[in-house]
Amino acid sequence: MLHTMRPRWGLLRGRCMGSLRRLYHGDKVATVGSRPDSNSPAYQFAGYQLYGKEEVPAGGLITGIGRISGIECLIVANDATVKGGTYYPITVKKHLRAQEIAMQNHLPCVYLDETIRIPLHDKWESIVKAATGEQVSAEDLGGADLHCRKSGVTDHYAVDDNHALHLARKTVRSLNYKKNLDVTVEKPEDPLFPADELYGIVGDNLKKNFDVREVIARVVDGSKFDEFKALYGDTLVTGFARIFGYPVGIIGNNGVLFSESAKKGTHFIQLCCQRNIPLLFLQNITGFMVGREYEAGGIAKDGAKMVTAVACASVPKITVIIGGSYGAGNYGMCGRAYSPRFLYMWPNARISVMGGEQAATVLATIAKDQKAREGKSFSEEEEAALKDPIIKRFEEEGNPYYSSARLWDDGIIDPADTRLVLGLSLSAALNAPTQKTQFGVFRM
């Protein structure tokens, strides 16, 4: 599964030897060279192959959540090794997403600013001279002495980088910030099964079925899963568990969604909202069932119930795409449009309106029918010529690297790190008080 991820990591490392060098770990700043913390899904692939031959590793911006003086903070650091810290469109988008995460989860922000913002080839002192005729140095124009002693723009004078980081930690310590949890937290337990087994359970072939309970057993505390309605709507697995001591309601796919599955999911989401329990969605979904029998049975309104419940739920929602994410199934399983606090993808994941082969078959059928109406034949060679580029494009644009490069997700994670990433995400999400959920009208 990781064979798609490791070459890309190597590519990023080679192009950005100074990247991601400042990461908070507890109360210390660690110098980690070119490789980011393997457990941090902080948009490493932002900007990947986005600007043709012009490389912008990690979007030129380092973001992540770290603990400073015991307080979880959202950290944003410019990477001066990437075009001098210049802001590209993807840099702005990544910066805004980081601020959105901080706002949603009530996290203080710490900025390590080292950027020229926009690519200016002239120095600022030259610009001042051209505008006013005044001859000034960079230090006179915007140095620490000027802003600490005269203008009062800055609050502290740092003698070097380490001193500046020390002052930042002291400032965070003085925030008088207290985390008030709305949930009970128990002592964490390791799963009974090793996380490395996830590679063999899921694999690269999305057509291969697997039981999502096997994934859950390698993520939750003690592999304990209190399943809800186990014998009803069995293509959707729902139940309660804990991850690093935090309670969570899990919704995972075991096939296509039927009416029974959708109603079961709706009921479970309502229970979690009533109990203030965060929701975890494990996506591997082809969509809702189609066909005359299922339309007559009300799949449209039952699916709408589940989508309504997901949209209205105000408890923290976290989504991990562990397989396919296609069509309206993405909506029912809390895709990006339904505001999960965090959305992660595994390297094997695929996301699109439908699979490439299905899309190619639909378009080939339309073309074949059109030829038939015109009294013309549609050869196998013509069909292949139509379908092959469609399948290729869906494969390219449906893979997680294409998605992550555009920040359609919050990072690609190693499946073996899923438990740790979810624990960190739950801890961060629970900084914000949970708002009361108010559901709209359910289609009956």
Question: Looking at this protein, which amino acid is placed at residue 228?
Answer: F
Q: Give the model confidence (pLDDT) of 309-355 as tens digits.
A: 999 999 999 999 999 999 899 999 999 999 999 999 999 999 998 88
Tell me the pLDDT band of 136, cut-offs 50, 70 and 90.
confident
Closest of 213, 190, 184, 215 to residue 200, by C-alpha: 215
d(CA 105, CA 156): 28
> Within the chain, what is the greatest distance between any pair of CA atoms?
86
| Mean pLDDT, the chain, integer | 86
What does CATH list as the number for 195-346+413-429?
A: 3.90.226.10
CB atoms within 10 A of CB 438: 8
pLDDT attached to residue 4: 62
- Within 193-268, strands assigned E span 226-228, 236-243, 246-253
C-beta atoms surrounding 371 within 10 Å: 14
Higher-scoring residue by pLDDT: 41, 311: 311
Could you tell me which of 359, 266, 348 has the C-alpha nearest to residue 306?
Answer: 266
Six-digit token string for 396: 């390219």
Q: What is the pLDDT of residue 16?
A: 44
**What pLDDT, on the 0 to 100 scale, is given for residue 48?**
85
- The helix (H) or strand (E) run that includes residue 312 is helix 299-312
pLDDT of res. 11 = 54
Q: Is the pLDDT of residue 17 over 70?
A: no
The reply to whether 195-346+413-429 shares the fold of 2-173 is: yes
Per-residue model confidence (pLDDT) at position 441: 81
pLDDT at position 13, please?
47
Q: Residue 156 carries which DSSP code?
A: -
Q: Are strands 61-68 and 71-78 parallel, antiparallel or unpaired?
A: antiparallel
CA–centroid distance for 285 within its chain: 18
**Which pLDDT belongs to residue 425?**
95
Q: How far apart are the first and last CA of the chain?
A: 42
* pLDDT of the residue at 274: 95
Q: How many residues are listed for the chain in this entry?
A: 444
Instruction: Tell me the C-alpha distance between 328 and 283, whole Å.
Output: 12
The answer for 222, left when phi > 0, alpha when psi is -120 to 50, beta otherwise, is: left
Residue 72 dihedral angles phi and psi, to the nearest 5°: -75, 130
Find the range with the poorest average confidence among 10-19, 40-49, 212-221, 255-264.
10-19
Question: Looking at the predicted structure, is the pLDDT value of residue 123 above 80?
Answer: no
Span of 80-84, 133-137, 414-418 with lowest mean pLDDT: 133-137
Amino acid at residue number 201: I
Distance CA 159, CA 156 (A): 10
DSSP string, 371-406: HHHTT----HHHHHHHHHHHHHHHHHHHSHHHHHHT
Residue 28: exposed, middle, or buried by beta-carbon count in 10 A (0-12, 13-18, 19+)? exposed
What pLDDT does 295 receive?
A: 92
pLDDT in tens, 185-200: 999 999 999 999 999 9
Q: In the predicted model, what is the mean pLDDT of residues 85-108?
A: 92
Q: How many distinct helices (H) and strands (E) make up the chain?
A: 16, 12
Lowest-confidence pick of 1-10, 34-43, 82-91, 155-164: 34-43
Rounded Cα distance, 365 and 359, in Å: 10
pLDDT average, residue stretch 391-404: 90
Strand partners, 242: 247
Provide the pLDDT for residue 285: 93
- DSSP notation for 329-354: HHHHTT-GGG--SEEEE-TT-EEESS
Q: Is 249 helix (H, G, I), strand (E, B) or coil?
A: strand
Q: Could you tell me if 82 and 16 are in contact, meaning their C-beta atoms sit under 8 angstroms apart?
A: yes
Is the pLDDT reported for residue 94 higher than 90? Answer: yes
Q: What is the mean pLDDT of residues 151-172?
A: 91
pTM across the whole model: 0.86
Maximum average pLDDT range among 4-13, 50-59, 162-171: 162-171
**What residue spans define the domains of the chain?**
2-173, 195-346+413-429
CATH architecture entry for 2-173: Alpha-Beta Complex (3.90)
Query: Residue 43 — pLDDT band, cuts 50, 70, 90?
Result: low
